[in-house]
Structure 1
């Protein structure tokens, strides 16, 4: 039996994350008809301008749930076969045997074996995930680069594979979701961004969620501070950035209120049908970008082991920004948190991120928000 979180305790917990070193963060926690909004810290460390709970924010890979829902809509309409080969739809980008072996489902749950394109598109990250051998230079070099998704896909598809199609565990890769964006374009005749806006964002009645039209975040927002594991010191603001490097994989801008509304509608069967939702919650083990094995469905993953009381949602990071949105299976308890710093952990002698007080403080806030 979970208890309702106490607003005073939530206020104290979010302030604790700020005191641990997070420049600014804001959140919305919902328990039935009880709603709490909180914020702590600065949107701009130079001026002291405070964060507020209504700010728009880059939400990173939370975008993947929106893209997955759009694909499942097309599955429901018969335009896409969930277990059909991607080569049937995109023989150019994924030709030959791989195109025949990799299914749409494998792209959605990261079991395609396709490599991550990011270390190839960003040369200073070439050694990723060996963090000690990476550097932040490419982040600045590509601030206003307009990437062609077809070129990024080609890089990911032609790179050495990280597994066999359908193999377990899978390996998380943004290449999968750029391909899903191209799949949506192929079957709908419009861009993935336009289709998702019309059929997912608008269907959920989200008023502050959109793909960016340019490098700027429109409306009130925080500066976004990237540290790249202590290699950028002091942390640098990346709130102005061209997001074509991730597109339908991680480019969305939203608010904590909109994300809670979206996941509530999704888990209620209002975005895709209940049969599709059941497919989204069928999980497989996947190596995350942090090198941990997580359970991952179709653009959706649980906070707890899958079950009737599990929390489902997605997390996301881009340069300087992070978000996590989780909703209990019954839709009654929800939490969305946004933070305006990323990769605050410095590396130890082995090149692994050291624990930081922010990590523990965030974990405490999540437990309080979700379990009371």
Structure 2
């Protein structure tokens, strides 16, 4: 791992730390205050924005999405899929990523998979309607409203279009004004182009060992994820955001209670997480229950978790992704980085007595794909 940086808060005390380099060529060190692509952590921001509109009566959680966006989600699907199902990934609409990036469609078969699409799409401007159509035309992952969900970025691209429909603003603009600024975040934004403004690390993609050495994807358009996973932030801002959200200062307490109603959702890496409306629940035996989200982009990963009582917070960023090589069946193989991250999460989230118990479960929130 070239570099890792983090901020941990505990009952009013704050620790910030960084280790390693932001640039493997120059040796420039990472710093704890660097901006970073935080991937699907953006989903909590988008979900909070939707809940604000629910509070204002412009959106009903259990209304069919076709009532608002019949041109994007037409026919029977538009009548069956509700806003809630999009938020908690029970819509049955699959993720579009392997269709937007055709060279990924061989996953997890190494002979058929390549990084070709990552380079071809570096500056491509995807339209939301294009991404939604890719998801809707792919084979469904299940019936709408099932007892378990399947994680899908398509759901949150649709929610971005819903926000635009009911507010008259681009989703990213509405989220900036009503979520990011309301939380008092100073270093969080949806970049307007492929470059990040301000101090940041380069972001290295190993792509399951196929890219050796790992390739720098720090300059990359966010159009392929938008309000689903296109956010840039700092670890300080992420801790502040989740503190504000879980204290009822971004959405109401009743809206927060809706966001914390969870069910099992199969993540893109095949693991199962307890997912609400834009929030993960992470129960660490011997320690505590945490709420938050994780995320990744090409070359960048992040996780932000806050204890249920709000007194302990952890936000961690790493600047290389998909370091595990795959076996012939496409299963990621163990790597020393995995053990190091487990140890870090356990110590950051729990007191010393609970750190060992935390290590195994804390790592479950780490995404291996965007």
* Contact 1:59–1:317, Cα closer than 8 Å, also in 2: yes
Greater RCO, 1 or 2 (C-alpha within 8 Å, sep 6+): 1
- Give the TM-score of the pair, scaled to structure 1: 0.92
* 1:19 aligned residue: none
* Contact 2:109–2:328, Cα closer than 8 Å, also in 1: no
Following superposition, which runs of at least 4 residues in structure 1 exceed 4 angstroms of deviation? 129-132
Alignment of 1:50 with 2:29, yes or no, is: yes
Selected match of 1:193 from 148, 172, 194? 172
Alignment of 1:133 with 2:112, yes or no, is: yes
Selected match of 1:260 from 225, 235, 239? 239
- 3-state SS of the aligned residue for 1:211? coil
* 1:211 aligned residue: 190
Alignment of 1:312 with 2:262, yes or no, is: no
* 1:10 aligned residue: none
Is the alpha carbon distance of 1:354 and 1:188 closer, same or farther for their aligned partners in structure 2, counting shifts above 3 Å? same
Q: Report Cα offsets for 1:291-347 as digits up to 9, x if no partner.
A: 0111100000112179x9410000000000000000011111000000000000001
Report the alpha carbon displacement of residue 129 of structure 1 after superposing the two structures with TM.
Answer: 5.0
Report the alpha carbon displacement of residue 168 of structure 1 after superposing the two structures with TM.
Answer: 2.8
* Contact 2:109–2:329, Cα closer than 8 Å, also in 1: no
* Contact 1:321–1:340, Cα closer than 8 Å, also in 2: yes
* Contact 1:227–1:235, Cα closer than 8 Å, also in 2: yes
* Contact 1:60–1:317, Cα closer than 8 Å, also in 2: yes
| CA distance in structure 1 between the aligned counterparts of 2:17 and 2:282, rounded to whole angstroms | 21
- Give the TM-score of the pair, scaled to structure 2: 0.93
Q: Report Cα offsets for 1:149-180 as digits up to 9, x if no partner.
A: 11110111111111110113210000000000
Which is further off, 69-78 or 153-162? 153-162
* Contact 1:309–1:330, Cα closer than 8 Å, also in 2: no
Report the alpha carbon displacement of residue 225 of structure 1 after superposing the two structures with TM.
Answer: 0.2
* 2:10 aligned residue: 31
| CA distance in structure 2 between the aligned counterparts of 1:83 and 1:305, rounded to whole angstroms | 31
Structure 1 unmatched ranges of 5 or more: 1-21
- 3-state SS of the aligned residue for 2:291? strand
* Contact 1:132–1:351, Cα closer than 8 Å, also in 2: no
Alignment of 1:368 with 2:347, yes or no, is: yes
Provide the alpha-carbon RMSD of the alignment: 1.4
Report the alpha carbon displacement of residue 128 of structure 1 after superposing the two structures with TM.
Answer: 3.5
Which is further off, 155-164 or 247-256? 155-164
| CA distance in structure 2 between the aligned counterparts of 1:249 and 1:61, rounded to whole angstroms | 6
Selected match of 1:303 from 275, 282, 288? 282
* Contact 1:31–1:334, Cα closer than 8 Å, also in 2: yes
- 3-state SS of the aligned residue for 1:334? strand
- 3-state SS of the aligned residue for 1:264? helix
Q: How many residues align?
A: 351
Is the alpha carbon distance of 1:45 and 1:348 closer, same or farther for their aligned partners in structure 2, counting shifts above 3 Å? same
| CA distance in structure 1 between the aligned counterparts of 2:111 and 2:326, rounded to whole angstroms | 7
Selected match of 1:90 from 53, 56, 69? 69
Alignment of 1:1-372 (within 5 A): 22-128=1-107, 130=109, 133-304=112-283, 309-372=288-351
